[in-house]
């Protein structure tokens, strides 16, 4: 923010002197977000979870190898106990959270890139390109994603990156439709006409002028996609069509621990579940807070 924007308005003729400081949109959004208590709690929980997943392994003494006795109760040595094979549950959950988050991030990135690119091109270019992209969306909507990802997970022996890639390739359709709808109205706006008059190329208009105007929707959708991807991955691994060893994920842990369910060791299942729910709740809270903070109509302070 430069000093020219931070204009100090000092009315010269009044006896009461006051100053008004123009605030940038980023600061308005941030302060609105910070005032939303659930959104703040959600983001803090998420940050803690991310640190836990990616740095926890550095500080925790146990590895994920079966070095211990089977089904040890929780103790200082093993806060979450050990599983049937004698693996430290805390170490497993750190690793699982890490892979689940990695999968979710890959999915969110892929869906955002594919959805925004195709949606913006379909909406702006129109004509045959638009119909082609629409047909592609329709085709993908009738093919059951669960089968495609399941088949590919078996094909690539449950490698986490392939599960993530095919999850991404089967969930971009909704975002494409939303962006297309927005671009259809944005392309009639004056600033697009101005850019065209200045000789900007189609690609430049789409990606420099139109897409930034959809930023709010894109940010919110990418956030919520992380929660969706974690849940979808968990569901797939739960029925045995997702990530497989040597890779791991929270879904795989759920799959492995569900057999303890009627026994006294059922809590190994519940503790894994708790982490899945924590991720998706915190991401949902954060996404909702972002949506409210970014929506100019949701401004509580009337000018």
Partner 1 sequence: MARYVLRRLLVSVVLLLVASFVCFLLVQALGDPIAEWAAGQRQRNPNGADAAIAAAYQRAGLDTPLLTRYWTWLTGFVTGDWGTTVNPGQTPQEVQPKIMHSLWITIRLVLTAELLAIALGAVVGVISAVKRYSWFDYVLTAFTFLMFALPLFCIAVLLKIGGIQFNNVLQANGMDRWLVTAGYPPGGFTGSFGNQVYQYIGVYLLPTLCLMAISFALYSRYERASMLDVLGADYIRTAHAKGISSKRVIWKHAFRNALIPLVTVGSLSIGSAFAGAIITETVFGWQGMGYILVQNVNRKEPYMILAFMMVTAVFIILFNLIADIAYTLLDPRIRLD
Shortest spacing between CB 142 and partner 1, in angstroms: 4
Half-sphere exposure (Cβ direction) of 94: Cα atoms closer than 13 Å: 21
Residue with Cβ nearer partner 1 (88 or 247): 247
Angle at 281 between CA 278 and CA 283, to 5 degrees: 105
Among 41, 45, 235, 260, binds partner 1 (CB under 8 A): 235
Which parts of 236-295 interact with partner 1 (CB under 8 A)?
A: 238-241, 254, 258, 261, 273, 276-277, 280-281, 284-285
Evaluate the CA torsion angle 224, 228, 229, 234 in order and state its sign.
positive
Which residue, among 249, 216, 26, 244, has the nearest Cα to 116 in the 3D structure? 216
Answer yes or no: are the C-beta atoms of 259 and 74 closer than 8 Å: no
Among 39, 222, 229, 231, binds partner 1 (CB under 8 A): 231
Give me the helix-helix angle, 89-125 and 215-238, nearest 10°. Answer: 130
Shortest spacing between CB 81 and partner 1, in angstroms: 20
Residue with Cβ nearer partner 1 (48 or 143): 143
Answer yes or no: are the C-beta atoms of 164 and 102 closer than 8 Å: yes
Which residue, among 95, 71, 63, has the nearest Cα to 260 in the 3D structure? 71
* Cα–Cα distance, 174 to 268 (Å, whole number): 36
Shortest spacing between CB 298 and partner 1, in angstroms: 13
Q: From its phi and psi, is residue 212 left (phi > 0), alpha (psi between -120 and 50) or beta?
A: alpha
Instruction: Assess 154 for contact with partner 1 (CB under 8 A).
Output: yes
Shortest spacing between CB 49 and partner 1, in angstroms: 13
Residue with Cβ nearer partner 1 (22 or 47): 47
Which parts of 116-145 interact with partner 1 (CB under 8 A)?
A: 135, 138-139, 141-145
Residue with Cβ nearer partner 1 (165 or 210): 165
Instruction: Assess 111 for contact with partner 1 (CB under 8 A).
Output: no
CA-to-CA dists, residue 248 to 25, 186, 219, angstroms: 41, 43, 28
Residue with Cβ nearer partner 1 (159 or 258): 258
Answer yes or no: are the C-beta atoms of 206 and 80 closer than 8 Å: no
Shortest spacing between CB 182 and partner 1, in angstroms: 16
Residue with tokens 């089968």: 147
Stretch that binds partner 1, among 14-22, 107-115, 121-129, 228-236 (CB under 8 A): 228-236
Shortest spacing between CB 135 and partner 1, in angstroms: 7
Residue with Cβ nearer partner 1 (128 or 142): 142
Which residues form the interface with partner 1 (CB under 8 A)? Answer: 135, 138-139, 141-148, 150-152, 154-155, 174, 227, 231, 234-235, 238-241, 254, 258, 261, 273, 276-277, 280-281, 284-285
């Amino acid at each position: 923010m430069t000093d020219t924007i931070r204009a100090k308005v000092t009315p010269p003729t009044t006896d009461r002197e006051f100053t008004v400081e123009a605030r940038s949109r980023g600061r308005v959004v941030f302060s609105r977000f910070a005032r939303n208590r659930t959104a703040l709690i959600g983001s803090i929980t998420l940050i803690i979870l991310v640190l836990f997943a990616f740095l926890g392994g550095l500080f925790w003494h146990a590895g994920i190898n079966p070095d211990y006795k089977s089904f040890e109760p929780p103790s200082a040595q093993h806060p979450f106990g050990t599983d049937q094979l004698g693996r430290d549950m805390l170490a497993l959950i750190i690793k699982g959270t890490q892979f689940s988050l990695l999968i979710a991030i890959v999915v969110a990135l892929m869906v955002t890139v594919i959805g925004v690119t195709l949606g913006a091109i379909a909406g702006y270019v129109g004509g045959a390109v638009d119909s082609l992209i629409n047909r592609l969306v329709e085709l993908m909507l009738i093919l059951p994603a669960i089968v495609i990802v399941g088949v590919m997970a078996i094909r690539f022996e449950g490698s986490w990156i392939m599960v993530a890639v095919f999850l991404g390739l089967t969930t971009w359709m909704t975002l494409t439709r939303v962006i297309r709808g927005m671009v259809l109205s944005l392309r009639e706006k004056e600033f697009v006409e101005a850019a065209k008059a200045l000789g900007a190329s189609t690609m430049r208009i789409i990606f420099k002028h139109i897409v930034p105007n959809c930023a709010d929707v894109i940010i919110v959708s990418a956030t919520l996609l992380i929660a969706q991807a974690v849940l979808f991955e968990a569901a797939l691994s739960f029925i045995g069509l997702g990530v497989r060893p040597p890779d791991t994920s929270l879904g795989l842990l759920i799959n492995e621990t569900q057999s303890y369910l009627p026994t006294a060791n059922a809590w190994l299942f519940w503790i894994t579940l708790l982490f899945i729910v924590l991720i998706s709740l915190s991401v949902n809270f954060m996404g909702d807070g972002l949506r409210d903070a970014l929506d100019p109509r949701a401004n509580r302070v009337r000018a």
